Copies of this chain bind each other. A is one copy, B any other.
Amino acid sequence: MPLVERLCIIGVGLIGGSLSLALKQAGAVGSVIGVGRSAANLDDALRLGVIDEASHDAASAVESADMVVLAVPVGTTQAVCEQIRDHLNADAVLTDVGSVKGDVVAQVEAAFGEAPANFVPGHPIAGTEKSGAAAAFPTLYEGRRVLLTPLAHTAETALDRVRRMWETAGAEVETMEVAHHDAVLAATSHLPHMLAFGLVDRLARMEDSGEIFRYAAGGFRDFTRIASSDPVMWRDICMHNREALLAAMAQFEEELAELRRAIDAGDGERLFEIFTRAREARDGFTG
């Protein structure tokens, strides 16, 4: 018997589609039904073997599934949960792939009354600039981290099934508290995106922006790469991880003010100390 007998992926994009392909390749899934709104995308998914069956109706699609993966934009979580609420199998495990967890849990709670014991909030830290089922590939999760944030009443068996599913897809799975997840991601991903978007936007708004970008050297290209990310996804992350992101931004603004004061005062010793600590930290974590 495969790890997952019937997988239902709601939202067959890069993330959901790649999970399906990875499980198929590992022989760990019996069959896969994909749910989506776009017929063209579902056709791609069927044609490329990402899914075995396609549906526009989440409610009926989950009825046969023992594993349901929500891979929809975070903001639509509650609406989708309300559709499937009365159709889930008693034993089915429900998980998601959202980049923020506190808000997803709140939406699940709003839809279900309380979060089901078989619901396991999850976040695979993986992705490319591409999207859609046609961009999916089975090795997306190899060596990548998946963070699971079980709640106090989450069933051990459900957590274990989701963990094994991601491990089968090649990922390293870790668990942490919901709030901690959101704070860590705000600091290491959401804040850096704000800095990159903000910097490029500020330069773009300057009168001589064409010239300014012309003189931007190599380091600038690396530094601003993440400003090419999907504006819709990042708008949603900002809306749905608001508290943690605002806290991270406030902390960074303090740091920047400290740097500014040191530059203003010509305090070379302080600047050297900050730059050295940063360089050592970075060289340390990148090995």
Chain A residues with CB under 8 Å of chain B are 125-126, 145, 147, 184-185, 187-189, 191-206, 208-209, 211-217, 219-229, 231-232, 234-236, 238-239, 242, 245-246, 249-253, 255-257, 259-260, 262-264, 266, 268, 271-272, 274-286
Contact = CB atoms under 8 A, between A and B. Distances in A.
A130 to B, nearest CB: 14
B199 A195 contact: yes
Nearest to A205: B277
Given A197-B278, A229-B279, A278-B197, A263 B234 contact: no
Contact of A223 (B196, B268, B280): B196
Nearest to A215: B184
A277 B200 CA distance: 8
B125 A217 contact: yes
Number of identical protomers:
2
A214 B125 CA distance: 12
Given A198-B259, A227-B279, A231-B271, 8 more contacts: A187-B212, A189-B220, A193-B219, A197-B279, A201-B274, A231-B272, A239-B271, A253-B260
Q: Could you say which of A191, A219, A245, A249 has the most chain B C-beta atoms within 10 Å of its C-beta?
A: A219
A282 B227 contact: yes
A5 B34 CA distance: 74
Contacts of A274: 197-198, 201
B202 A232 contact: no
Given A215-B145, A231-B275, A279-B229, A256 B198 contact: yes
A231 B276 CA distance: 6
Contacts of A196: 223, 278
A169 to B, nearest CB: 17
A252 B201 CA distance: 10
Contacts of A205: 277
A225 B219 CA distance: 8
B249 A279 contact: no
Given A222-B223, A223-B226, A200 B266 contact: no
30 contacts: A126-B217, A184-B212, A184-B215, A185-B215, A187-B203, A188-B215, A192-B219, A195-B223, A198-B259, A199-B255, A201-B274, A201-B275, A203-B281, A204-B280, A205-B277, A209-B281, A213-B281, A213-B285, A223-B225, A231-B272, A231-B279, A235-B268, A236-B268, A239-B266, A242-B264, A245-B263, A246-B264, A249-B256, A250-B260, A253-B257
